[in-house]
Structure 1
Amino acid sequence: MEAPAGKAACSKHIVLVHGACHGGWSWYKVATRLRSAGHRVSTPDLAASGVDPRPLREVPTFRDYSKPLLDLLESLPAEEKVVLVGHSLGGVSIALASELFPEKVAAAVFVTAFMPDHSSPPSYVLEKFVEGRTAEDWMDTEFKPQDPDGKLPISFLFGPLVTRAKLYQLCSPEDLTLGRSLMRVSSMFEDDLRLQQPYSEARYGSVRKVFIVCKDDLAIDEGFQRWMIENYPVDKVMEIDGADHLALFSTPAELASCLTDIAEKYA
């Protein structure tokens, strides 16, 4: 898509990384606004997500899951830096990408996303999140083993009740229908992430970070978002009122405005 006249000079490359069970499609409202503002936007599908053809059983590790993002960064020209944006579980993917390619990341932006620190294994924030949840919180989310030996990661899929009540509660009925139609089975890869070394202060820790708090998120609630920021302070905190977990759908104009401001400041 061509940039509007006069805006090419301020064009930034913004990479939008989806959360679990979703795909690059989930950024359609935000990506459209950013492109209309003249920015270059990439919305990769992570492995076994979106239109990626692989089934989850062919994606045994979190690095395998994140590989499409890692391949994208590896393919960039040496001098190019991107604004890397992760939503929900996508936060762990952009943290891994920042660890491996810190020189290619102008800023890492966590949109109500899981944000690892550089002193604990990357599973730590997921474990803390799960610790504070009851069976009632997960509602009809389905967790299933993929194989009898337990060698593959546990799969999960959001059910229709939790999707409507805690993920998309402020979204339009059309976006709820879209989400339910396109969701795929995913995993949190906790066991694999527990085996990984902490992302390093020298690499991941050197990347500038912004956290966007979605104040009406009922899935990763504001309290837990604030805990992650306290656990691992960032360069800037932004807030969006009226944003549920899928701020990508419920408050796309506000989210695109935040990302534009971040791109102008850091890229």
Structure 2
Amino acid sequence: MDSKRHFVLVHGAGGGAWCWYKVATQLKSVGHRVTALDLGSTGMELTGPDTILTIHDFARPLTELMASLPQDEKVILVGHSYGGFCISLAMERFPEKVKVAVYVSAFMPRPKIPPALLLQELFRESKLEALMNENYTFDHNLDRGMGDDYMAEKLYQNCPPEDLELARMLPRPVKMFMEDLANESFLTEERFGSVERVFVVCGDDRALGVEFQRRMIDRSPPKAVKLIAEADHAAMLSKPHELCQCLEDIAKNYC
């Protein structure tokens, strides 16, 4: 069991712990411990969305988990999409409790650079500038570019239809917390920068395109880069076996 690790899986905007069900099952089947979290007011987390006012509120389930870990326990943090901001917060607060951080087609911010710039860059390129006002929703009744068509064509296009249907049945309001992410002191080299990072590129991601992913990598090179060529944005659903293999390799080589 010395080779078995504790993976903490952190979803992105509009998701929940549910989106990791395939990956969690496979990792557990080979003996790893897995914690898949619902962030604030997502999935089964019952906090009302009106009470989630800052990114720290949103990430609180993760930071509470990290604070509860024994001093001698280290985890592999895995963040997807917007969850990259949340694992970065956890790395800043608890660098001594993180073996390695894995960004799965996730926003990977840099110390002393406002993380909001990444969102603004992506929204401009995607012609989704309206989302910069901080709030959007996957609610099917609001046509702001993030409804059923966007989910089917940009987020889950390579997933089995039942996974797309599941995502459609579990929409939750989302905030971008642009004001919080505009803070230059969000991360430091001394703490966040002390944690090893690995980036998993999703090669058929139409939400965070490959060029955008590669630019984040070039600006702040991680310890290693892995590619899942045919993964869409939701790699944990479209290519769960390949993602699990990446995570197994990371656990063996970087822990």
What TM-score do the two structures reach when normalised by structure 2? 0.93
Alignment of 1:1-267 (within 5 A): 8-135=1-128, 153-157=134-138, 158-195=146-183, 197-267=185-255
Q: What displacement does 1:196 show?
A: 5.1
Return the alpha-carbon distance in structure 1 between the equivalents of residues 77 and 237 of structure 2. 19
User: Could you list the per-position Cα deviations for residues 106-157 of structure 1 after superposition, in whole angstroms to 9, with x for gaps in the alignment?
Assistant: 001000000001130222211221222214xx8xxx9697xxxxxxx52432
Give the conservation status (yes or no) of the 8 Å contact 1:213–1:238.
Answer: yes
Preserved contact between residue 167 and residue 244 of structure 1 (Cα < 8 Å): yes
Q: TM-score w.r.t. structure 1 length? A: 0.89
Partner deviation per Cα, 1:66-95 (whole Å, 9 max, x = no partner):
010000000000011000000000000000
Segments of 5+ residues of structure 2 without an aligned counterpart are 139-145
Q: Which moved more, 1:51-60 or 1:109-118?
A: 51-60
SS in 2 for 1:43: strand
- The DSSP-based 3-state class of the residue aligned with 2:185 is coil
AA at the equivalent of 1:156: T
Distance in 1 of aligned mates of 2:107 and 2:162: 27
Deviations along 1:39-71, whole A, 9 cap, x unmatched?
A: 000001100111011122110000110010000
* Structure 1 runs (4+) greater than 2 angstroms displaced: 142-145, 153-158
Q: What is the count of residue pairs matched by the alignment?
A: 248
Contact 2:123-2:132 within 8 A present in 1 as well = no
Q: Distance in 1 between matches of 2:216 and 2:79?
A: 14
Partner residue, 1:150: none
| Letter matched to residue 57 of structure 2 | D
- How large is the RMSD of aligned CA atoms in angstroms? 1.6
Amino-acid identity (%): 46
Q: Give the Cα separation in 2 of the matches to 1:154 and 1:196.
A: 21
